[in-house]
Amino acid sequence: MDDLVIRSVSRLVVPFIQLYGLYVIFYGHLSPGGGFAGGAIVASSMILYGLSFNLEAGSRKLGHDVSSFMESGGAIWYLIIGLLGILFGSNFLANRYAGVSLGTPGQLFSGGIIFFLSLGIGVKVASTMITLFYSLSGGEDSSGSNN
Amino acid sequence: MISVLDFLLLSFLIVCAIVVARIRDLISAVIIFAAYSLVMAIVWQMLGAPDIAMTEAALGAGVTTFLFLAAISKTKRAE
Amino acid sequence: MEASPLVGVGILLLIAYVFFYLPRSQIRHILVIVILFMIGYALVVTVAEMPVFGSANTPAYNYVAKRYLEGTVAETGAINVISAIILDYRAFDTLGEATVLFVAIAAAIANLKAH
């Protein structure tokens, strides 16, 4: 699908969708949203880019290796943040009882580990959707077996 | 009690669900399901759950539609 | 509703009789319609017994919800109560959800790369 109107409109719209998705991820502890919603929005922007251009252009922006690395890295990041609670002398995934500074409620860097956990969940959900998109549409290493 | 807008949206949801189950053409079913997801997002927002509404609008109307279409393009179109 | 367990057992016995013993005929068709109407009546009665949406004396609104609504800002520092619940109070549950996503994508890639 190589249409001038679709390419121009998606080139205009995709940065704003990504900015909105990143806003939803980063402000998950202040406004409605969080990792799942923001990650889905970022992933849908990348899927829109890969559909309106071709798959090679999409995978040049975010390759299959990078997205699958981010997909594993999000889960490992979540586990590392959880293990830091044990390291600081409390339970797994402990927030206030591990001595993390909570900050002023309402500021961007507040809420202790909630900000970092939301970031990890967002990265993981977004890269899961993008990896599923590439592998289901036969992108990047299409071996010609599209029967 | 239930308002006029609530009644319209919910009856649209019921009609969409019945049509998705009854229709024979799978691509039409996927498009109607995307419309169902959009109206469902509005209903979530009116019920006071804006985060679920955002997730439903992004996943139900965007990603799920694409995944169904990709799966149909690898198999047959008719049921 | 004292009679509701009796009605449920009756519906189950009727379903078992219709689907296992009755041959395919006109009377079976009519009985299936009767069963569907009985199940629909039971669901409508159940919905009519439920408390009004958003009212303060639903069974789900107990001391747990009150504790979360009152203590979230002091205990976690987050304003959004939903984020505080799924990423602080119930963070281990969210780890399970992430594991489910991981297993699903691993199975999908393993199936799609095999072809």
Which site among C76, C93, C100, C113 would you substitute to test the A interface, given the most A Cβ atoms closer than 10 Å to its Cβ?
Answer: C76
Q: What is the mean pLDDT of residues A52-76?
A: 83
Can you read off the two tokens belonging to residue A79? 């586990």
What angle do the packed helices A114-136 and A35-52 form, to 10 degrees? 30
The whole-angstrom separation of Cα A78 and Cα A58 is: 27
Q: Are residues C70 and C94 in the same domain?
A: yes
The whole-angstrom separation of Cα A47 and Cα A62 is: 11
pLDDT tens digit sequence for A17-26: 999 999 999 9
Q: Which of A24, A47, A137 sits opposite B63 (nearest CB)?
A: A47
A81 reaches C (C-beta below 8 A): no
Chain B touching partners, 3 or more CB pairs below 8 A: A
Q: What is the mean pLDDT of residues C88-111?
A: 89
What angle do the packed helices A114-136 and A4-26 form, to 10 degrees? 150
What residues of A are in contact with residue C98 (Cβ under 8 Å)? 74-75, 78, 121, 124
Can you read off the two tokens belonging to residue A81? 């943040």
Amino acid at residue number A94 = A
Q: What is the DSSP string of B39-64?
A: HHHHHHHHTT-HHHHHHIIIIIIIIH
For residue C93, tell me if it sits in a domain. Answer: yes
Q: Are residues C45 and C68 in the same domain?
A: no
Closest by alpha carbon to C87, among A78, A60, A87, B47?
A78
A94 band by pLDDT with thresholds 50, 70 and 90: confident
Q: Output B17 or A110, whichever has higher pLDDT.
A: B17
Question: In terms of residue numbers, what domain contains C24?
Answer: 4-49
What residues of A are in contact with residue C92 (Cβ under 8 Å)? 92-93
Query: Is a pLDDT exceeding 60 seen at residue A147?
Result: no
For residue C105, tell me if it sits in a domain. Answer: yes
Which site among B45, B59, B75 would you substitute to test the A interface, given the most A Cβ atoms closer than 10 Å to its Cβ?
Answer: B59
A30 reaches C (C-beta below 8 A): yes
B67 reaches A (C-beta below 8 A): yes
Chain C touching partners, 3 or more CB pairs below 8 A: A
Domain boundaries, chain A: 4-136
User: B71 vs A136: CB contact, 8 Å cut-off?
Assistant: yes
The gap from C-alpha B18 to its chain's centroid, in whole angstroms, comes to: 12
Least confident of A77-81, A141-145, C67-71: A141-145
| Contact (Cβ atoms closer than 8 angstroms) between residue A115 and residue A35 | no
Confidence (pTM): 0.82
Q: Output B68 or B75, whichever has higher pLDDT.
A: B68
For C79, other C-beta atoms within 10 Å of its C-beta total 18
Closest by alpha carbon to A63, among A51, A53, A50?
A50
The gap from C-alpha A36 to its chain's centroid, in whole angstroms, comes to: 8
Least confident of A99-108, A122-131, B21-30, C87-96: A99-108
User: What pLDDT sits at residue A144?
Assistant: 42
Query: Is a pLDDT exceeding 50 seen at residue B46?
Result: yes
The helices-and-strands tally (H runs, E runs) of chain B is 4, 0
The whole-angstrom separation of Cα A140 and Cα A60 is: 9
The whole-angstrom separation of Cα A113 and Cα A78 is: 10
Q: Which residue has the tokens 């969940």?
A: A121
Q: Output C100 or C111, whichever has higher pLDDT.
A: C100
User: A37 vs B70: CB contact, 8 Å cut-off?
Assistant: no
For B33, other C-beta atoms within 10 Å of its C-beta total 18
Q: What is the mean pLDDT of residues C91-104?
A: 90
B47 reaches A (C-beta below 8 A): no
Q: How far is B65 from chain A (nearest CA, A)?
A: 11
Q: How buried is residue A114: exposed, middle or buried, by Cβ count under 10 Å (0-12/13-18/19+)?
A: buried
A145 band by pLDDT with thresholds 50, 70 and 90: very low
Measured between alpha carbons, how far apart are the two ends of chain C, in Å? 57
The whole-angstrom separation of Cα C41 and Cα C37 is: 6
For residue C83, tell me if it sits in a domain. Answer: yes
User: B62 vs A44: CB contact, 8 Å cut-off?
Assistant: yes
Averaged pLDDT score across all residues of chain A: 84
Which site among A30, A72, A95, A124 would you substitute to test the C interface, given the most C Cβ atoms closer than 10 Å to its Cβ?
Answer: A95
